[in-house]
Structure 1
């Protein structure tokens, strides 16, 4: 899917990323949102190290400093290149400060071993209606409720799901299935940490694990676990396309009630 809407535009030097309004955080308009930071790192790693014989099977992004609404540079390096595994790192830089870092593991495609293994039953049912091939706010669903684009309408204690399209990193470039999967996986925080009063946790990382590259321009996510203590939250979720599950997401988050977002009080789709 090619769109003029994107998280960034490209600077005159050809490698600096200039954030657009789509990259701004709902927590702070002078900061970047998690999907934009994750997408930029994933885009650079895929661009520099992807190989059709390998699957990007695990991506971990540590977001240890708030990324500002400012020019951003992604530096990458290969750590290991073997017959079955390739490992690479990325640094998300603003000025001379690292605001996030990422590590990716590529695994070589192969035939499965003999025998059968346990697999959980899946109950995820995507919305029947389709997007119109344009990036939009996600649809959400909770147990006992219909799919809607009102996040505030799902501020409850039920299990949550989201369904979305992807946003391009740069205008005129398609959002690749891998970069879209990273954006969808970042919503692990949304589907696990959204409660009756909104979201009061800020996730400081994302780990996404894939068994295959997803298909289609619409992807979903369903909460699996939500464990909290001492103001720390750990959430996991399963990632879906219309064929079924293709991976998992995990985030850790810290409590920040001073910046609690109550989506029921916000106007528009959010």
Structure 2
């Protein structure tokens, strides 16, 4: 579940959104705090596209997450910006927050191609 503060799935450019898992990653099990923040971190590119998703593919080839502390609560805020190069490479930079403040950063390496 996403709640956008800025940007959106259909808007190009940076975006800020609160996100939570609506369903468990494993049926019948509650996700751990680390699982929640990693799922959110993997969504940075998805909320801050710089090219039309209908015409381009964005393959996330690597995800790096650095946390200063464990997240509190089920909602994680992502403040994401994606950068693309004409060579077909790109990256997404995402600041991560919980209800108490900043908890870390995520970066995604991208391979970009036309569909």
Moved over 4 A (4+): none
Contact 1:211 1:247 survives alignment (8 Å): yes
Secondary structure of the structure 2 residue equivalent to 1:171: coil
Give the match for residue 205 of structure 1: 62
Counterpart of 1:165 in structure 2 is 20
- Structure 1 length normalisation: TM-score? 0.38
Q: What does residue 42 of structure 1 align with?
A: none
| CA shift in 2, pair 1:218/1:168, >3 Å | same
Give distance in 2, aligned partners of 1:140 and 1:256: 27
> How many residues of Structure 1 are paired with residues of Structure 2 in the alignment?
112
Q: Which has the higher strand share?
A: 2
1:151 paired residue number: 9
The corresponding residue for 2:92 is: 235
Task: Tell me how far apart the structure 2 counterparts of residues 218 and 208 of structure 1 sit (CA, whole Å).
Answer: 17
Query: Is residue 206–residue 250 contact of structure 1 (8 Å, CA) maintained in 2?
Result: yes
Q: Which has the higher contact order (CA 8 A, sep 6+)?
A: 2
The structure with more helix, counted as a fraction of residues: 1
Deviations 1:151-196 (A, max 9, x none): 22xx233x2112111242212211111000000100121234x135
TM-score, scaled to structure 2? 0.83
Structure with the greater alpha carbon radius of gyration: 1
SS class of match (2:36): helix
- 1:108-257 to structure 2, matched below 5 A, reads 137-142=1-6, 151-152=9-10, 155-157=11-13, 159-166=14-21, 167-192=23-48, 194-195=49-50, 197-198=52-53, 200=56, 201-224=58-81, 226-257=83-114
Query: In 2, are the aligned partners of 1:141 and 1:160 still within 8 Å (CA)?
Result: yes
8 Å CA contact 2:89, 2:111 repeated in 1: yes
Q: CA RMSD in A?
A: 2.1
List alignment gaps of at least 5 residues for structure 2.
Answer: none
